[in-house]
Amino acid sequence: MADDREVKYLVPGLERGLQLLLAFGEQHRDLTFAELHRLVDMPKATAYRVVQTLEYMGFLERNARTNTFSLGMNVLRLGFEYIASLDVAQVGQPVIEQLRDVSQCSSHLAIRDGRDIIYIARVSAAGSRINQVSIGTRLPVHCTSLGRMLLTDLSRADFEQLFPHERLPGNVPGQLHDREALWQMVQQDKARGYVIGESFFRHGISSIVYPVYDRSHRVTAVVSILVPSEEIPQADRERLQNEVRLAADKISGFLGYLSQAS
């Protein structure tokens, strides 16, 4: 908030326009002029002129049938252009910190780069006995639960271009070597909407993984928590899944994703 010394530099007309725009929200998506005027502190004639200006510039839209106003596309355009400038790690770091706090599990954010996943953010749970991967660590996409979730965004043609041979690369114990088997597993993951799997790289460690979507509805990242497999009581599994899902949904929202249910 600006201090009193800066108040003299305010532009009154701009301030009034922003006050009107800020009157809209989840509880006030559509407002008549009378309702809008009651929510802002300005003379009625002034409010009317500001509304007319905002409508003319595309920041408000009028519904002729209900005689109400709602936020216009230019508000969304400004918001989306800002969102597009944000880095997924930048918006995701505080979210996975919250996830760590509520789940008491080490939490990660990862993206895909070709055949690898890259960890771009991570936080450790207090007293965790699990060795943490470092930011920037790369692992084969087909050998991790996080990678499988990232692969759900690919078409069959893109998948086969990524893995042109029937036998998958690598010699990690327990990994899949058959391309078709991996494709079928990825399709099951996609239909389920999440992955719970044991790590090929660290025995006894399980991940719960959910996708992060961008505004074009593409899987742009994944959120996961790590726990020792024997320490996930069945009663807690649903709660932990829900916490990871909420974190992924929150980051998706920050990136401009609008779900079908919105």
Q: What is the pLDDT of residues 38-68, one digit of tens each?
A: 888 889 999 999 999 999 999 999 998 899 9
Q: Quick check: helix, strand or coil at residue 202? A: coil
78 and 17 in one domain? yes
8 and 67 in one domain? yes
pLDDT at 90: 87
pLDDT at 1: 46
pLDDT at 84: 57
207 and 182 in one domain? yes
Domain boundary among 82, 100, 125: 82
93 and 56 in one domain? no
98 and 74 in one domain? no
Q: Quick check: helix, strand or coil at residue 197? A: strand
Question: What mean pLDDT is predicted for residues 127-152?
Answer: 85
Q: Indicate the number of domains in the chain.
A: 2
96: domain range?
86-254
Per-residue pLDDT reduced to its tens digit, 234-248: 778 889 999 999 999
> How many angstroms separate the CA atoms of 175 and 135, rounded?
23
10 has a pLDDT exceeding 90: no
Domain boundary among 39, 56, 82: 82
> How many angstroms separate the CA atoms of 109 and 96, rounded?
7
129 and 25 in one domain? no
Determine the straight-line distance between the first and last CA of the chain, rounded to whole angstroms: 32
Per-residue pLDDT reduced to its tens digit, 193-209: 999 887 665 667 789 99
117 and 51 in one domain? no
Per-residue pLDDT reduced to its tens digit, 203-228: 677 899 999 999 889 999 999 998 87
197 and 103 in one domain? yes
Question: What mean pLDDT is predicted for residues 119-138?
Answer: 80
181 within a domain of the structure (yes/no)? yes
125 and 100 in one domain? yes
83 has a pLDDT exceeding 70: no
